[in-house]
Structure 1
């Protein structure tokens, strides 16, 4: 990011494995991820100067109860809610704190349990012709139909997104869905809406993720190693505008990615890794085209040709994506940073993409906001 901001680095990452909703307290989920990130960075909690918590479905004021298990150090803390982009926005705020010179060590945490899932329309007193009958899955089922009509893609090609991402997740010990699925399994009914079967829709769950961001000064003063540090090249956050008949999910992603890549001084051709919002299979195809990773209408063929798998031209959702890694809402965007950092360090084990240098993280929140971050190997 330009504008006189300081260089900022990710030096520690941690996760609590994503899982089905259960009895684990959110404090345990979050503290597990935070302690893992601290250990990864070689830092202690009293060295962290500010904390942002991305959360959307759990409770008001949850940060205090979670962080006090680590020590009451008096640091500023804030909760960030931005729908599915909550964790992405928390990461951006932590990054901006460091890049702007306000603090030298910041942590972004995402944590959630699906206790309070609600949309704002009812509280706003908004009524429309659809009421509650137009679910997100139907929105994306309609987009899948449109994509097939415009590109010539088949239902089987769209389902291949879930096949690929389930294989990636089978190599990821932190994923919620760890079973590699065949095309026949992915296509098995029931269909939830349109062509989208259950395996083509992401699972909701719970979990936590954490990332520690530091300045150059902190790297030197705290004696941190640069060998495993990952540089944050840029961060972009945009909201929707008026798009006419254009698919707003696509248009918003295109605009935000263009801004993030431009600030980073990176072209789409230079990107090696992408973690993107694939809550439904068709999203991955739409978004890789919007990002400029392939030409419009060609994503399905590129996927079939192996271009988006681990070892392909660009590894898309090496974690398993929302479809198989899981989508616990608050943690998801920070979890993407964990995956990119792990890959850029060369520490992803059996799912390691060969020699990655540039990674991109992308999340949308109820279609109204989009966050994109660009990271680079030191």
Structure 2
């Protein structure tokens, strides 16, 4: 069956971005976190709240009705507000919905917001017992994948840990990152092991924060007098859920399929990418997903990382924000925060973590391994 894509609809752009720094849990209400990000995005775009036609809020831990209780402080304008929960991909899914709504002509300006605070909210029990429900927690799952990857490709634990070294270096240059300290390989390796060879600094911190992006149509750019040079095009939005792959690593195969769909929508290949933000909740994930996206062949990512190909200034900057490992992973905001980083990179506004000449970027998020969301953003001038 033929399905329409974002490319079949009218063009959409990111016109404004804003963040509240990611950090450990504090006493700050989530309302203040979210409003900080939204107000920053409005100021960045040069828009008023009354210009916004709809709002999509990605959150995994706040419970019911978070959007209205937060956004009412900006003014009661009557716009439709929808809350999106899709695990780690909540923010990415909210951004996708904002893009589709604007692309379909149902709105000219749509807010994608991610906000969260650590909570005890968990997935609803299925009532169906699993064989290893309490044994294979995420850290163990990825530690096993790291062992398998190292054995298959002759990669060392130090080469996997080098992902964390790079991303902590990037995070040290990012004022919005939760972890802002540069780390040596020795420091990463000397940390306590969480599972297998994965040490604490190779596992993402889960804290609080917020991220916002304003998605606009071409008509809105002209009508509202926005600066077209700072409006970044969204040329692909792809989302898939996993199938039966016959492998112990369905996340990688799901990423490969979703990236292929995104590339077809945008009319590009992996070779065109200048900046990539991936779901690197654990260090091994960056190597697996870089290969799945097509930045290199199977087993080649560790060697390319060692040669600086994925550094800022390298062939393709991977997670210049610091990624989940250093930027942090507050769940709801994470996917929108990736969009903010890529937008900043494509505008040339990323300061000392700027990838030179960046024109095309890709944001990749997984939600509990069951869903994958990928967006391609491009500078179109």
Category of TM-score, reference length = shorter chain: over 0.9
Structure 2: distance between partners of 1:151 and 1:34:
45
Does the 8 A contact of 2:60 with 2:332 survive in 1? Answer: yes
Pick from 360, 366, 369 the counterpart of residue 368 of structure 2: 366
Question: Per-residue deviation at 1:116?
Answer: 2.9
Pick from 240, 244, 247 the counterpart of residue 246 of structure 2: 244
Correspondence for 1:224 = 226
Matches within 5 A, 1:78-157: 78-120=82-124, 123-157=125-159
Structure 1: distance between partners of 2:324 and 2:247:
27
Matches within 5 A, 1:250-261: 250-261=252-263
Does the 8 A contact of 2:191 with 2:201 survive in 1? Answer: no
Could you report, residue by residue, the CA deviation over 1:302-340 in whole angstroms, capped at 9, with x for unpaired residues?
100100010000000000000000000000000000000
1:295 aligns with 2:297: yes
Question: Per-residue deviation at 1:4?
Answer: 3.0
Pick from 4, 11, 25 the counterpart of residue 15 of structure 2: 11
Could you report, residue by residue, the CA deviation over 1:186-227 in whole angstroms, capped at 9, with x for unpaired residues?
001311100000000000000000000110111111111101
Structure 1: distance between partners of 2:150 and 2:121:
31
Does the 8 A contact of 1:17 with 1:208 survive in 2? Answer: yes
Q: 1:2 to 1:93 in 2, by over 3 A?
A: closer
Q: 1:272 to 1:24 in 2, by over 3 A?
A: same
Instruction: List gaps (5 residues or longer) in structure 1.
Output: none
1:58 aligns with 2:62: yes
What TM-score results when the alignment is normalised by the length of structure 1? 0.98
Does the 8 A contact of 2:6 with 2:235 survive in 1? Answer: no
1:332 aligns with 2:338: no
Structure 2: distance between partners of 1:212 and 1:75:
15
Does the 8 A contact of 2:6 with 2:237 survive in 1? Answer: no
1:199 aligns with 2:201: yes
Cα-Cα RMSD: 0.9
Structure 2: distance between partners of 1:326 and 1:52:
22
Does the 8 A contact of 2:18 with 2:340 survive in 1? Answer: yes
1:318 aligns with 2:320: yes
1:39 aligns with 2:43: yes
Comparing 53-62 with 127-136, greater Cα deviation is found at 127-136
Does the 8 A contact of 1:268 with 1:291 survive in 2? Answer: yes
Q: 1:235 to 1:3 in 2, by over 3 A?
A: closer
Could you report, residue by residue, the CA deviation over 1:243-274 in whole angstroms, capped at 9, with x for unpaired residues?
11252011000000000011100110000000
Structure 2: distance between partners of 1:95 and 1:353:
25
Structure 1: distance between partners of 2:132 and 2:155:
29
Comparing 217-226 with 157-166, greater Cα deviation is found at 217-226
Equivalenced residue count is 376
Question: Per-residue deviation at 1:115?
Answer: 1.4
Structure 2: distance between partners of 1:98 and 1:246:
38
Pick from 169, 190, 193 the counterpart of residue 167 of structure 1: 169
Structure 1: distance between partners of 2:120 and 2:114:
16
Structure 2: distance between partners of 1:125 and 1:6:
44
Does the 8 A contact of 2:95 with 2:336 survive in 1? Answer: yes
Structure 2: distance between partners of 1:3 and 1:30:
30
* SS at structure 2 position matched to 1:32: helix
Structure 2: distance between partners of 1:74 and 1:2:
27
Correspondence for 1:69 = 73
Question: Per-residue deviation at 1:3?
Answer: 5.7
Question: Per-residue deviation at 1:13?
Answer: 0.2
Question: Per-residue deviation at 1:58?
Answer: 1.6
Structure 1: distance between partners of 2:40 and 2:285:
31
What TM-score results when the alignment is normalised by the length of structure 2? 0.97
Correspondence for 1:265 = 267
Correspondence for 1:28 = 32
Structure 2: distance between partners of 1:59 and 1:25:
14
* SS at structure 2 position matched to 1:300: helix
Structure 2: distance between partners of 1:347 and 1:110:
22
Structure 1: distance between partners of 2:46 and 2:123:
40
Question: Per-residue deviation at 1:119?
Answer: 2.5
Structure 1: distance between partners of 2:137 and 2:274:
34
Pick from 211, 215, 226 the counterpart of residue 217 of structure 2: 215
Does the 8 A contact of 1:202 with 1:326 survive in 2? Answer: yes
Structure 2: distance between partners of 1:240 and 1:109:
25
